[in-house]
Amino acid sequence: MKDIVILTDDRLAEAQQVRDALIERGWRVETIPRTICLWDEAGLSAWAAPFSGEIAGVIHPAPTPILGAIEAVSEAQWRRAADEGPMAAWCVTKVFCDRMKANGGGSMIYLNSIHAEKPVGHGALFSMGCAAAQMLCKEVNQDYGEFGVRAFFIQKGITGSDPDARSPVSNLYYGVDLRYPARRLPEAGYLNALVAFLLTPGSAALAGSDLMADGGMVQYYTHRRQVEGRPYYEWPK
Protein backbone atom coordinates (compact mmCIF):
# COMPACT_ATOMS: atom_id res chain seq x y z
CA MET A 1 0.00 0.00 0.00
CA LYS A 2 1.20 3.50 -0.81
CA ASP A 3 1.29 5.33 2.49
CA ILE A 4 4.07 7.89 2.16
CA VAL A 5 3.30 11.57 1.97
CA ILE A 6 6.17 13.87 1.00
CA LEU A 7 6.27 17.28 2.67
CA THR A 8 8.64 19.49 0.72
CA ASP A 9 9.08 22.24 3.31
CA ASP A 10 8.04 22.32 6.97
CA ARG A 11 8.81 25.96 7.81
CA LEU A 12 5.18 27.04 7.53
CA ALA A 13 3.15 26.58 10.73
CA GLU A 14 0.23 25.12 8.78
CA ALA A 15 2.57 22.60 7.14
CA GLN A 16 3.81 21.45 10.54
CA GLN A 17 0.24 21.04 11.75
CA VAL A 18 -0.72 19.11 8.62
CA ARG A 19 2.29 16.83 9.04
CA ASP A 20 1.41 16.02 12.65
CA ALA A 21 -2.25 15.44 11.80
CA LEU A 22 -1.40 13.08 8.95
CA ILE A 23 0.94 11.08 11.17
CA GLU A 24 -1.86 10.78 13.73
CA ARG A 25 -4.09 9.41 10.97
CA GLY A 26 -1.56 6.72 10.10
CA TRP A 27 0.29 8.27 7.19
CA ARG A 28 4.06 8.13 6.98
CA VAL A 29 5.25 11.67 6.32
CA GLU A 30 8.72 12.22 4.91
CA THR A 31 9.91 15.81 5.12
CA ILE A 32 12.56 16.91 2.65
CA PRO A 33 15.59 18.12 4.64
CA ARG A 34 16.39 21.78 4.30
CA THR A 35 19.81 20.82 3.00
CA ILE A 36 18.15 19.62 -0.22
CA CYS A 37 17.69 22.37 -2.79
CA LEU A 38 14.11 22.18 -4.08
CA TRP A 39 15.04 23.51 -7.53
CA ASP A 40 17.93 21.09 -8.03
CA GLU A 41 16.34 18.28 -10.02
CA ALA A 42 19.25 15.86 -9.66
CA GLY A 43 19.55 16.31 -5.91
CA LEU A 44 15.82 16.05 -5.37
CA SER A 45 15.59 12.93 -7.54
CA ALA A 46 18.38 11.27 -5.57
CA TRP A 47 16.64 12.01 -2.29
CA ALA A 48 13.28 10.72 -3.62
CA ALA A 49 14.64 7.49 -5.14
CA PRO A 50 14.12 5.22 -2.08
CA PHE A 51 10.44 6.19 -1.81
CA SER A 52 9.48 6.00 -5.48
CA GLY A 53 6.93 3.20 -5.35
CA GLU A 54 5.19 4.21 -2.15
CA ILE A 55 4.33 7.87 -2.60
CA ALA A 56 0.63 8.57 -2.14
CA GLY A 57 0.91 12.31 -2.22
CA VAL A 58 3.10 15.37 -2.08
CA ILE A 59 2.45 18.57 -0.15
CA HIS A 60 4.32 21.59 -1.45
CA PRO A 61 3.86 24.75 0.67
CA ALA A 62 4.43 28.23 -0.71
CA PRO A 63 7.78 29.81 0.20
CA THR A 64 8.25 32.50 2.80
CA PRO A 65 6.94 35.75 1.30
CA ILE A 66 9.35 38.47 0.25
CA LEU A 67 7.57 41.78 0.59
CA GLY A 68 8.63 45.20 -0.61
CA ALA A 69 7.78 47.96 -3.06
CA ILE A 70 8.77 47.12 -6.63
CA GLU A 71 11.52 49.71 -6.72
CA ALA A 72 13.01 48.37 -3.47
CA VAL A 73 13.41 44.80 -4.71
CA SER A 74 17.06 43.82 -5.01
CA GLU A 75 18.50 41.52 -7.66
CA ALA A 76 19.22 38.95 -4.93
CA GLN A 77 15.59 39.07 -3.78
CA TRP A 78 14.38 38.70 -7.36
CA ARG A 79 16.52 35.59 -7.88
CA ARG A 80 15.58 34.09 -4.52
CA ALA A 81 11.86 34.61 -5.13
CA ALA A 82 12.11 32.97 -8.55
CA ASP A 83 14.05 29.96 -7.21
CA GLU A 84 12.01 29.37 -4.05
CA GLY A 85 8.70 30.00 -5.81
CA PRO A 86 8.11 28.92 -9.42
CA MET A 87 11.40 27.06 -9.96
CA ALA A 88 10.95 24.93 -6.83
CA ALA A 89 7.28 24.27 -7.64
CA TRP A 90 8.18 23.10 -11.14
CA CYS A 91 11.08 20.91 -9.96
CA VAL A 92 9.07 19.27 -7.17
CA THR A 93 6.25 18.67 -9.63
CA LYS A 94 8.47 17.10 -12.25
CA VAL A 95 10.34 14.83 -9.83
CA PHE A 96 7.36 13.56 -7.85
CA CYS A 97 4.57 13.55 -10.44
CA ASP A 98 6.72 11.41 -12.71
CA ARG A 99 7.13 8.94 -9.85
CA MET A 100 3.43 8.93 -8.97
CA LYS A 101 2.56 8.57 -12.65
CA ALA A 102 4.74 5.48 -12.85
CA ASN A 103 3.03 3.96 -9.84
CA GLY A 104 -0.66 4.42 -10.49
CA GLY A 105 -1.13 8.04 -9.42
CA GLY A 106 -1.34 10.15 -6.29
CA SER A 107 -2.17 13.61 -5.03
CA MET A 108 -0.05 16.67 -5.75
CA ILE A 109 -1.13 19.32 -3.24
CA TYR A 110 0.11 22.89 -3.57
CA LEU A 111 -0.44 24.39 -0.10
CA ASN A 112 -0.36 27.91 -1.36
CA SER A 113 -1.95 31.26 -0.70
CA ILE A 114 -4.88 33.55 -1.43
CA HIS A 115 -2.27 35.78 -3.02
CA ALA A 116 -2.43 33.68 -6.16
CA GLU A 117 -5.49 35.80 -6.86
CA LYS A 118 -5.57 38.60 -4.30
CA PRO A 119 -2.86 41.24 -4.25
CA VAL A 120 -1.16 41.84 -0.94
CA GLY A 121 0.26 45.31 -1.59
CA HIS A 122 4.05 45.55 -1.93
CA GLY A 123 4.00 41.81 -2.55
CA ALA A 124 4.55 41.40 -6.29
CA LEU A 125 7.41 38.93 -5.90
CA PHE A 126 5.37 36.60 -3.72
CA SER A 127 2.07 36.89 -5.57
CA MET A 128 3.69 36.28 -8.95
CA GLY A 129 5.16 33.04 -7.65
CA CYS A 130 1.81 31.98 -6.18
CA ALA A 131 0.00 32.62 -9.45
CA ALA A 132 2.67 30.72 -11.37
CA ALA A 133 2.20 27.73 -9.06
CA GLN A 134 -1.55 27.97 -9.54
CA MET A 135 -1.18 27.72 -13.32
CA LEU A 136 1.34 24.90 -12.89
CA CYS A 137 -1.28 23.01 -10.86
CA LYS A 138 -3.82 23.37 -13.65
CA GLU A 139 -1.32 22.20 -16.25
CA VAL A 140 -0.34 19.20 -14.09
CA ASN A 141 -3.89 17.97 -14.33
CA GLN A 142 -3.67 18.21 -18.11
CA ASP A 143 -0.30 16.47 -18.32
CA TYR A 144 -0.65 13.83 -15.59
CA GLY A 145 -4.39 13.45 -15.04
CA GLU A 146 -4.81 10.41 -17.26
CA PHE A 147 -2.17 8.62 -15.19
CA GLY A 148 -4.06 9.02 -11.93
CA VAL A 149 -2.19 12.06 -10.64
CA ARG A 150 -4.57 14.64 -9.19
CA ALA A 151 -3.32 18.14 -8.47
CA PHE A 152 -4.92 20.56 -6.02
CA PHE A 153 -4.23 24.17 -5.29
CA ILE A 154 -5.16 25.33 -1.79
CA GLN A 155 -5.45 29.06 -1.32
CA LYS A 156 -4.82 29.44 2.38
CA GLY A 157 -5.55 32.66 4.20
CA ILE A 158 -3.84 34.36 7.10
CA THR A 159 -3.67 32.61 10.42
CA GLY A 160 -2.93 33.82 13.91
CA SER A 161 0.56 32.35 13.75
CA ASP A 162 1.32 33.87 10.36
CA PRO A 163 3.93 36.64 10.48
CA ASP A 164 2.25 38.25 7.45
CA ALA A 165 -0.68 39.20 9.63
CA ARG A 166 1.49 41.72 11.43
CA SER A 167 3.71 42.71 8.55
CA PRO A 168 4.99 46.25 8.90
CA VAL A 169 5.42 46.42 5.11
CA SER A 170 1.87 45.94 3.99
CA ASN A 171 -0.94 47.90 5.54
CA LEU A 172 -3.29 45.63 3.66
CA TYR A 173 -3.10 43.35 6.64
CA TYR A 174 -3.89 46.11 9.07
CA GLY A 175 -6.92 44.99 11.01
CA VAL A 176 -7.01 41.81 8.96
CA ASP A 177 -8.91 39.92 11.65
CA LEU A 178 -11.86 42.23 11.10
CA ARG A 179 -12.25 40.90 7.57
CA TYR A 180 -13.12 37.44 8.76
CA PRO A 181 -16.78 36.68 9.31
CA ALA A 182 -15.84 35.36 12.76
CA ARG A 183 -13.82 38.56 13.44
CA ARG A 184 -10.79 36.55 14.43
CA LEU A 185 -7.97 34.83 12.59
CA PRO A 186 -8.20 31.07 12.14
CA GLU A 187 -5.45 29.08 13.83
CA ALA A 188 -3.01 26.83 12.03
CA GLY A 189 -4.57 23.38 11.85
CA TYR A 190 -7.73 24.31 10.01
CA LEU A 191 -6.26 22.80 6.86
CA ASN A 192 -5.50 19.39 8.34
CA ALA A 193 -8.73 17.61 7.51
CA LEU A 194 -8.86 19.12 4.03
CA VAL A 195 -5.39 17.91 3.12
CA ALA A 196 -6.12 14.46 4.54
CA PHE A 197 -9.28 14.27 2.45
CA LEU A 198 -7.41 15.19 -0.73
CA LEU A 199 -5.04 12.26 -0.17
CA THR A 200 -7.86 9.73 -0.14
CA PRO A 201 -9.86 8.16 -2.99
CA GLY A 202 -12.97 9.86 -1.61
CA SER A 203 -11.82 13.09 -3.21
CA ALA A 204 -11.43 11.55 -6.67
CA ALA A 205 -13.98 13.87 -8.26
CA LEU A 206 -12.14 16.97 -7.08
CA ALA A 207 -9.22 16.55 -9.48
CA GLY A 208 -7.83 19.91 -10.45
CA SER A 209 -9.77 21.86 -7.89
CA ASP A 210 -8.76 25.29 -6.75
CA LEU A 211 -9.69 25.26 -3.08
CA MET A 212 -10.22 28.48 -1.16
CA ALA A 213 -9.48 27.68 2.49
CA ASP A 214 -9.15 31.09 4.06
CA GLY A 215 -11.81 31.21 6.74
CA GLY A 216 -13.96 33.40 4.50
CA MET A 217 -11.46 36.26 4.43
CA VAL A 218 -11.60 37.21 0.78
CA GLN A 219 -15.35 36.75 0.54
CA TYR A 220 -15.96 39.26 3.27
CA TYR A 221 -15.86 42.84 2.15
CA THR A 222 -16.96 45.96 3.95
CA HIS A 223 -17.30 49.55 2.82
CA ARG A 224 -17.06 50.73 6.39
CA ARG A 225 -14.05 52.83 7.19
CA GLN A 226 -14.11 51.52 10.71
CA VAL A 227 -15.20 48.29 12.25
CA GLU A 228 -15.77 48.19 15.97
CA GLY A 229 -13.88 51.43 16.45
CA ARG A 230 -10.79 50.36 14.52
CA PRO A 231 -9.72 51.53 11.05
CA TYR A 232 -10.55 48.83 8.54
CA TYR A 233 -7.92 49.74 6.01
CA GLU A 234 -5.31 52.41 5.33
CA TRP A 235 -3.38 52.93 2.13
CA PRO A 236 0.36 52.51 2.46
CA LYS A 237 1.99 55.84 3.25
Partner 1 sequence: MNGQSDARVALVTGGGKGVGAGVVKVLAERDVRCCINCNTNPAMAEQTRKAVEAAGGEAFVYRADITDAGQLQAMVDAVIDRWGRLDILVNNAAMQLNRFIDQYDYATLRRLWEINIGGYFHAARVCLPHLRKSPCGRIVNICSIHGKRPTGFDAGYAMTKGAIRMFTRELALELYADGITVNAVDLGGCRIEFKTGNAPISAFNPLDCHNPGLMAPRMVTPRDVGELVWFLCGPEASAITGDGIRVDKGLILV
Q: Give residues in contact with partner 1 (CB under 8 A).
A: 39-41, 69-71, 73, 75, 78, 82, 86-87, 89-91, 93-94, 97-98, 115-124, 127-136, 138-143, 172, 235-236
Residue 201 or residue 237: which is nearer to partner 1 going by CB?
A: 237
Residue 107 or residue 127: which is nearer to partner 1 going by CB?
A: 127
Q: Which residues, at least 6 apart from 9, have a Cβ–Cβ distance to it below 8 Å?
A: 15, 32, 34, 38, 60, 61, 63
Q: How far is the CB of 213 from partner 1 (least distance, A)?
A: 19
Residue 60 or residue 115: which is nearer to partner 1 going by CB?
A: 115
Q: Which residues, at least 6 apart from 211, have a Cβ–Cβ distance to it below 8 Å?
A: 152, 153, 154, 155, 194
Q: How far is the CB of 39 from partner 1 (least distance, A)?
A: 6
From CA 24, how far away is CA 220, in angstroms rounded?
33
Residue 39 or residue 174: which is nearer to partner 1 going by CB?
A: 39
Q: How far is the CB of 29 from partner 1 (least distance, A)?
A: 25
Q: How far is the CB of 3 from partner 1 (least distance, A)?
A: 26
CB crowding 121-160: b at 16 or more within 10 Å, else e: bbbbbbbbbbbbbbebbeebbeebeeeebbbbbbbbbbbe
